[in-house]
Each structure stands twice: as structure tokens, then as C-alpha cells.
């Protein structure tokens, strides 16, 4: 954080040679705006604010989850309803913490920055974009590092424990069991939280940047200017009411009521939110106003902006339900995958991959329709508020997402504590529903990331004063090709990281089973700490190359090849990344639930494939193990790739914009800046490793 904050300050400050003189405004040369050094300083402060908020929210979320999982296990003794309420309320605390912290810090920052900037709203909201960059930078570490941590442990525990030794999941004899349970919190609580926080911060910043150069900003209308924040605040109130439906109004009495109750949360929050947006759009916005649209001002009505937010909100619900259809074992796609296990792991893998590719179709159409409608009504500002619409129910989305790992850990604790089979069955039922809701959460995250990335792209080209991006020019087309390749490169890095970490984990678990006498009999304790250390070391070391790829690409492309090529790279990575992310997440989720379908043996069809330890079950476990890094590391991490590159381009806009009549001195300065960046990153790597070694 500190190292990257210094980079931002040095880069943005050096644009005008660290000048403290006021300069002409970007959009109105007749007016005088604040110096570049002020933008550098305030962008750095907002970056640190975003990063700290993201870290604190993730930390508190993990703290709550680790308190809640044992309590959920204890409540399961009284019945499945009590356990559900404990797990769900804990998830809701995490959701509200994140939504409220994000909103509060952003609102305070805007008001404090306003004291210095005064009427220069363009400069003020350009400096605020650092907040989104801070949130997403931390999400990179939470998502990529957390994904590597959790999946290295999970794959190691499953392969040796379940496949080779034939012991149950979460059995305390398995040396990797503690690392596996810790990993659920790291990846699904801290990672998911920081990812959605990053999306929220970035979509707010993208909307505010475009609004600041529209009639809201030009006429200094503060209430309409903060319309993006008002949407989020209405979302918190709506989600508070929605939560009561799960915990107070309708009590869960049977296992079969769990999943419908969680789905009801999504529907209720979406319906109430639509009404809430309608009210605030009528109250907070003037009946007619103008929005900046690539050099022109587009006249927009308040009802059109309401429709932009609503279309994003409902697109999110559609993506959530399609994801559920393709990943829940209550429906035919997952049952077909489970059935394919009859003939071994190979057919299971083929069916799972086909399911993932097919599951892209409807979510992509939903995203496409929301982009078309929102852009037609309110240009790039419409897309930014559509993304905010999708994220407006973030508190409910996070509640049903965090519920999953809490239930999963509750089951692990029940197994390790040797509690009765009945309690384990209850926690397994909670966990099965949690698996599906986690997949729904990932669907939301990917859909919102696509809209957020496009909104940031729009804000970037608006700031760079580009009216069109012509695909037929070689510079742009080359950028498109390279950008479309980046998600594959990034996925290859994260998958290989999980694979190499899992390899070490498997070897360590095998070593312990072979060398510790009495481990299989349960008379000796395994060395859990060594397995935890393998996961921790792997996650910290292995996330640096993917992180460097995401952080360096926009700067290197922008400085060496110019803003046109960079716009091609951003568009290419968005188009390619969204497809891979959806298919990877849904393939992994389907394999996981196909395994659970066979294990539960709830239907006649499932009984013919089981029980645990049968050949179809072993084939399902192999599919699940392959799917683990897809659904929890590579797939969700791609959200960060497409968002972080776009927001970084926006924040460092002044560095990467290259004029055609650029003189030799300016070009040389850019090359020197790039070399300085690379040098700092190389030295940073050594400092990070030395610090971590010292701390451990």
C-alpha cells in the first residue's frame, strides 16, 4: 500500500514537474484549476482511504465469521432453523459493515476534499478516483492471495484424505484440515468482500467523474451530484428490511426451506430497491439535466436515469438466478454432470466444461441489454449507475455469500469435535445451500465487474478527450488482441500457483500419514501448522507475478504505445475476461455440487451413484478438485483484472495520454518514468519478501 501510494504521488506529481502553480481546467480553458501536485496529493490520500477501508472491512468480516462458525455448530444442536439464523445474521453483519463503511468514508472524503477544491469539482472528483483504485488494489491481494491459500489447502486435503485414504471431509486426522477451514474465510469472506467493495467504490467514482463534467458539476448542484451515493444509502435501508424476512418474519423449520429463503432475499431486495430508486430519482434529481457524452452534453430526464439503475438491478437478479440454475443440484444441469460420473472422471470433466461454456449465454445477454439501455438513455453515466444498481443490494448479496463459508466451517467444526451424525447432516444441508449462494454471489460480482469496467473505461476516454475508439486502426486492434489474451495469461498464473502449492501440500500430507505413527488410528495428532505455513507462504509469494501483470500493463502500454492502444487493451480484457470468469466459476460450482448430490443421496437417482467411496463418487471428487481453482481462484480473480486495469488507467490518465505532436523530451520522460516504475517494483519485491521473512 505504502509503496504504491508513493508511486501514485510521484507519477501524478511529475506530470507538471511537481509544480504548485494553478493551471487551466481540462474542460474549460478559460477557468483556472488547482495544481497537478494537489491532484497527486489528494489522489494518494483517497487511494490510502480506499485501501484501508477495504482491509478493515475484510478483517472485521473474517473476525465475525470465525466467531460465528462455532456458534452455528452449537445452534445446530437445537435445530436447522436456529443454525441458519446464526449463520445468516453473521453474514449480514459483514454485508452491512462493508456497504456502510464504503459509503461513509467516501462521503466524508468528498466533503473534506471540497474544503480545498471549492468550485473546482472536476479536480475534486478526479482526485476521488484514487478511492476506487485503493479498494481494488486490496481486492487483488484478497482475491488472488486468498484464492491460492484456500485452494492449495482444499486440493491437498481432498486428494490425500478423501481419494487416497478414504477418510471423511474435515476429519481431524487430515493434516491439511485446519488450513482448508481457514482458507474458506480468506477466499470467500475477505476476498469476496474486498472484490465487491472495489466494484462499489469504482462504480461510484466513475459516476462521480462523469457527473462532475456534466450539468450537475458545472452548475454545482450537490444533491444530484451525489446521486450515486444516494442509491447506495437507499440500498442499505432496503437490505435492512429484507434481512428481517429471513430471520424474523419467516422462520426456517426444515432443510428444504433454506434455499428458497435465500432466493427470496434476492427477490424482495430487488423489488423494494426498484421502488426506493424511483422515489429518490424523483426527489433528488431535477426533471431534466445534461450528461457529458464524448465531448457533447446529452439531455437526460430523471425517469431515464431511474430506468438505467433499475435495468442494472434486474440484470443482477437474472444473472443470480441463471447462476443458481447451472450450479444448484436441484436442477438438471448439475444432475447430468453427476450422472456422467458413472463412466469415470473424464466424462465428468467434459460435461462440466460444457455446462460452464453454456452458462455464459444468458448472463452475457443480460449485461448486453443493460449496457444498451443505460447507454442509450444516459451515455457512460448511465452505465456507471447501472453498475451501482446491480451493487445497490450489496449488503444482501454479501450476507447470502458470507453465509456459505460460515456454514461450511460449522460443518468442519462438528466433524472435528466428534459431534453426532445428526448435527453434521444439518450443517451439511446449510453448506449445500451456501455453495449455491456463493455461486450466485460470484455471478453478481462478475456481472457488476463488467459494468464497472465499462463505466471506468468511459470515464477514462472522457478524461483523455477521445471521442471515438476506431477498431480498424492498427494501434487499437493490436491492443484488442493483447487485451483479450491477458485474462488467459492471468488465469494461467493463478492456476499454476494453486497447482504448485497443492503439490507441496499433497507431499506434506502424504509424508505425515506415512511417518507419524498412530495418525490413521486417531491416537496421534497431525502437524497442522506446517500445512498452514505452506498455504500462507504460497499465497504471499505466488500473488506477486499476477499482481505485477495487472498493475504494470496499463502503465507500460499507455506510456510506450499511447492512449489508443491502451483503450484497445482495456476493451479486449473486458470482453474476454467476463466470459472466462463466468464459465470458470460455474464449471467449478457445478462439479462441487455434483459431488454433494452423490454424497447426500437424497433422490433415487443419487442413491444409484453413491455411496461415498464408490467409483462415481471418486470421479465426482476428482471433478470437484479440478474445479476448485477454477471457481475460487482464477474465475473470481478475473473481476479484479478487468476493473483494476481500467481504474488505474483513469487515475494515471495524465501520465498515459500521448499527443501526436509529442516532442522528443516528453517521450524520453515517459520512458524514464517506466524504467523508474520497473526499478521500484523490483526493489519492492525484495523489501516485501525480507519483511515477510522477518515477521514469520
Tell me whether residue 687 is in a domain.
Answer: no
> What DSSP character marks residue 32?
E
Confidence of residue 369 (pLDDT cuts 50, 70, 90): very high
Q: How far apart are CA 327 and CA 335, in angstroms?
A: 10
Q: Residue 327 belongs to what domain range?
A: 1-657
Contact 258, 429 (CB under 8 A): yes
Instruction: Give the per-residue pLDDT at 16.
Output: 67
> What DSSP character marks residue 275?
H
If you average pLDDT over every residue of the chain, what do you get? 83
Contact 234, 392 (CB under 8 A): yes
Residues near 418 by Cβ (< 8 Å), separated by ≥ 6?
A: none
Residue 362 has pLDDT above 90, yes or no: yes
Three-state DSSP class for 526? coil
Q: What is the mean pLDDT of residues 476-485?
A: 92
Virtual torsion, Cα 636, 642, 643, 647, nearest 10 deg: 160
Q: What is the DSSP string of 435-483?
A: HHHHHHHHHHHHHHHHHHHHHHHHHHHHHTT-S---TTSHHHHHHHHHH
Tell me whether residue 538 is in a domain.
Answer: yes
Cβ count near 446 (within 10 Å): 29
Q: How far apart are CA 190 and CA 63, in angstroms?
A: 10
Instruction: Give the per-residue pLDDT at 688.
Output: 59
Residue with the three cell numbers 432443510: 255
Contact 640, 528 (CB under 8 A): no
Q: How far apart are CA 213 and CA 191, in angstroms?
A: 34
Instruction: Give the per-residue pLDDT at 348.
Output: 92
Beta bridge partners of 301: 288
Instruction: Give the per-residue pLDDT at 572.
Output: 93
Residues near 561 by Cβ (< 8 Å), separated by ≥ 6?
A: 475, 479
Cell readout for 555 is 502503465
Instruction: Give the per-residue pLDDT at 478.
Output: 92
Instruction: Give the per-residue pLDDT at 259.
Output: 79
Q: How far apart are CA 571 and CA 166, in angstroms?
A: 47
Cell readout for 4 is 504504491
Contact 592, 624 (CB under 8 A): yes
Which of 17-21, 108-112, 382-386, 434-438 is the least confident region?
A: 17-21
Percent of the chain at pLDDT > 70 equals 91
Cβ count near 378 (within 10 Å): 26
Residue 654 has pLDDT above 70, yes or no: no
Three-state DSSP class for 100? helix
Say if residue 297 is exposed, middle or buried (CB neighbours under 10 Å; 0-12, 13-18, 19+). middle
Confidence of residue 356 (pLDDT cuts 50, 70, 90): very high
Residue 279 has pLDDT above 90, yes or no: yes
Cell readout for 360 is 455464459
Distance of CA 85 to the CA centre of its chain: 25
Cell readout for 145 is 492471495
Smallest CA-to-CA distance from 203 within 119, 269, 106, 294 is with 106
User: How many separate domains does the chain show?
Assistant: 1
Cell readout for 326 is 447451472
Buried b (16+ CB within 10 A) or exposed e, 653-688: bbbbbbeeeeeeeeeebbeebbeebeeebeebeeee
Tell me whether residue 669 is in a domain.
Answer: no
Residue 224 has pLDDT above 70, yes or no: yes
Q: How far apart are CA 506 and CA 498, in angstroms?
A: 12
Contact 381, 223 (CB under 8 A): no
Maximum mean pLDDT: which of 68-77, 119-128, 560-569: 68-77
Cell readout for 263 is 432466493
Residue 374 to residues 68, 236, 305, 538, Cα–Cα distance (Å):
40, 23, 8, 42
Q: How far apart are CA 436 and CA 674, in angstroms?
A: 44
Q: 121-140 vs 36-75: helix axis angle to the nearest 10? A: 40
Tell me whether residue 694 is in a domain.
Answer: no
- Write out pLDDT tens, residues 298-351: 888 889 999 999 999 999 889 988 988 898 888 899 999 999 998 989 999 999
Tell me whether residue 668 is in a domain.
Answer: no
Confidence of residue 147 (pLDDT cuts 50, 70, 90): confident
Confidence of residue 692 (pLDDT cuts 50, 70, 90): low
Tell me whether residue 680 is in a domain.
Answer: no
Three-state DSSP class for 565? helix
Three-state DSSP class for 564? helix
Three-state DSSP class for 391? helix
Q: How far apart are CA 274 and CA 309, in angstroms?
A: 8
Helical ranges in 219-360 per DSSP H: 222-225, 227-244, 258-284, 302-327, 332-339, 345-358
Tell me whether residue 693 is in a domain.
Answer: no
Say if residue 590 is exposed, middle or buried (CB neighbours under 10 Å; 0-12, 13-18, 19+). buried
Half-sphere exposure of 675 (CA within 13 A, CB side): 6
Residues near 299 by Cβ (< 8 Å), separated by ≥ 6?
A: 288, 289, 290
Residue 149 has pLDDT above 90, yes or no: no
For the whole model, what pTM was predicted? Answer: 0.85
Tell me whether residue 663 is in a domain.
Answer: no
Contact 631, 154 (CB under 8 A): no
Amino acid at each position: 500500500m505504502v509503496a504504491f501510494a508513493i508511486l501514485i504521488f510521484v507519477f501524478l506529481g511529475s506530470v507538471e514537474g511537481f509544480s504548485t502553480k494553478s493551471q487551466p481546467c481540462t474542460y474549460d480553458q478559460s477557468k483556472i484549476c488547482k495544481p497537478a501536485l494537489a491532484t497527486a496529493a489528494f489522489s494518494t490520500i483517497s487511494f490510502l482511504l480506499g485501501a484501508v477501508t477495504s482491509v478493515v472491512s475484510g478483517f472485521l468480516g473474517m473476525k465475525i465469521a470465525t466467531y460465528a462458525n462455532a456458534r452455528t455448530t452449537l445452534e445446530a444442536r437445537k435445530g436447522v432453523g436456529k443454525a441458519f439464523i446464526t449463520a445468516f445474521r453473521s453474514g449480514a453483519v459483514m454485508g452491512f459493515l462493508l456497504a456502510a463503511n464504503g459509503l461513509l468514508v467516501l462521503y466524508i472524503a468528498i466533503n473534506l476534499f471540497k474544503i480545498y477544491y471549492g468550485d473546482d469539482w472536476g479536480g475534486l472528483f478526479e482526485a476521488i478516483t484514487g478511492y476506487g483504485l485503493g479498494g481494488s488494489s486490496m481486492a487483488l491481494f484478497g482475491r488472488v492471495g486468498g484464492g491460492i491459500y484456500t485452494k492449495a489447502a482444499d486440493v491437498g486435503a481432498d486428494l490425500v484424505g478423501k481419494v487416497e485414504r478414504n477418510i471423511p471431509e474435515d476429519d481431524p486426522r487430515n493434516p491439511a484440515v485446519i488450513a482448508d477451514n481457514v482458507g474458506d474465510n480468506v477466499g470467500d469472506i475477505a476476498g469476496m468482500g474486498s472484490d465487491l467493495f472495489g466494484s462499489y467504490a469504482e462504480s461510484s467514482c466513475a459516476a462521480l467523474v462523469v457527473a462532475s463534467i456534466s450539468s450537475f458539476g458545472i452548475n454545482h448542484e450537490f444533491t444530484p451530484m451525489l446521486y450515486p451515493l444516494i442509491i447506495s444509502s437507499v440500498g442499505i435501508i432496503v437490505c435492512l428490511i429484507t434481512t428481517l424476512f429471513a430471520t424474523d418474519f419467516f422462520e426456517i423449520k426444515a432443510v428444504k426451506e433454506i434455499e428458497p429463503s435465500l432466493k427470496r432475499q434476492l427477490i424482495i431486495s430487488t423489488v423494494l430497491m426498484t421502488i426506493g430508486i424511483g422515489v429518490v430519482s424523483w426527489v433528488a434529481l431535477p426533471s431534466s439535466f445534461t450528461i457529458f457524452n464524448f465531448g457533447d452534453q446529452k439531455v437526460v430526464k430523471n425517469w431515464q436515469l431511474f430506468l438505467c439503475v433499475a435495468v442494472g438491478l434486474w440484470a443482477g437478479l437474472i444473472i443470480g438466478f441463471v447462476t443458481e440454475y447451472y450450479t444448484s443440484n436441484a436442477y438438471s444441469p448439475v444432475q447430468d454432470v453427476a450422472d456422467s460420473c458413472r463412466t469415470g472422471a473424464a466424462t465428468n470433466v467434459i460435461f462440466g466444461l460444457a455446462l460452464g461454456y453454456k452458462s455464459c449465454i444468458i448472463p452475457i445477454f443480460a449485461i448486453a441489454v443493460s449496457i444498451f439501455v443505460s447507454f442509450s438513455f444516459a451515455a457512460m453515466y448511465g452505465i456507471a449507475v447501472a453498475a451501482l444498481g446491480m451493487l445497490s443490494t450489496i449488503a444482501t448479496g454479501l450476507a447470502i455469500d458470507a453465509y456459505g463459508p460460515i456454514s461450511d466451517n460449522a460443518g468442519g467444526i462438528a466433524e472435528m469435535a466428534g459431534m453426532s451424525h445428526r448435527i453434521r447432516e444439518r450443517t451439511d444441508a446449510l453448506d449445500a445451500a451456501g455453495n449455491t449462494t456463493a455461486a450466485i454471489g460470484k455471478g453478481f460480482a462478475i456481472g457488476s465487474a463488467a459494468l464497472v469496467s465499462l463505466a471506468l473505461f468511459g470515464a477514462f476516454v472522457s478524461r483523455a478527450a477521445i471521442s471515438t475508439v476506431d477498431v480498424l486502426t492498427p494501434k487499437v486492434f493490436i491492443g484488442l488482441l493483447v487485451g483479450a489474451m491477458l485474462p488467459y495469461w492471468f488465469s494461467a498464473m493463478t492456476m499454476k500457483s494453486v497447482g504448485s502449492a497443492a503439490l507441496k501440500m499433497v507431499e506434506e500430507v502424504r509424508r505425515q500419514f506415512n511417518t507419524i505413527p498412530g495418525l490413521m488410528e486417531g491416537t496421534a495428532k497431525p502437524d497442522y501448522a506446517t500445512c498452514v505455513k505452506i498455504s500462507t507462504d504460497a499465497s504471499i509469494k505466488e500473488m506477486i507475478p499476477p499482481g505485477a501483470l495487472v498493475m504494470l500493463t496499463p502503465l507500460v502500454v499507455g506510456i510506450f504505445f499511447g492512449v489508443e492502444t491502451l483503450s484497445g487493451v482495456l476493451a479486449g480484457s473486458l470482453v474476454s475476461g467476463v466470459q472466462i470468469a463466468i464459465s470458470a466459476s460455474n464449471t467449478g460450482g457445478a462439479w462441487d455440487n455434483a459431488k454433494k448430490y452423490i454424497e447426500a443421496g437424497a433422490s433415487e437417482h443419487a442413491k444409484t451413484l453413491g455411496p461415498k467411496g464408490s467409483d462415481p463418487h471418486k470421479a465426482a471428487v476428482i471433478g470437484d478438485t479440478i474445479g476448485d481453482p477454477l471457481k475460487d481462484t482464477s474465475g473470481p480473480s478475473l473481476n479484479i483484472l478487468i476493473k483494476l486495469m481500467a481504474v488505474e488507467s483513469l487515475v494515471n490518465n495524465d501520465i498515459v495520454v500521448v499527443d501526436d505532436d509529442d516532442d522528443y523530451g516528453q517521450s524520453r520522460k515517459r520512458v524514464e518514468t517506466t524504467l523508474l516504475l520497473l526499478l521500484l517494483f523490483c526493489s519492492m519485491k525484495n523489501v516485501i519478501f525480507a519483511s515477510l521473512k522477518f515477521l514469520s
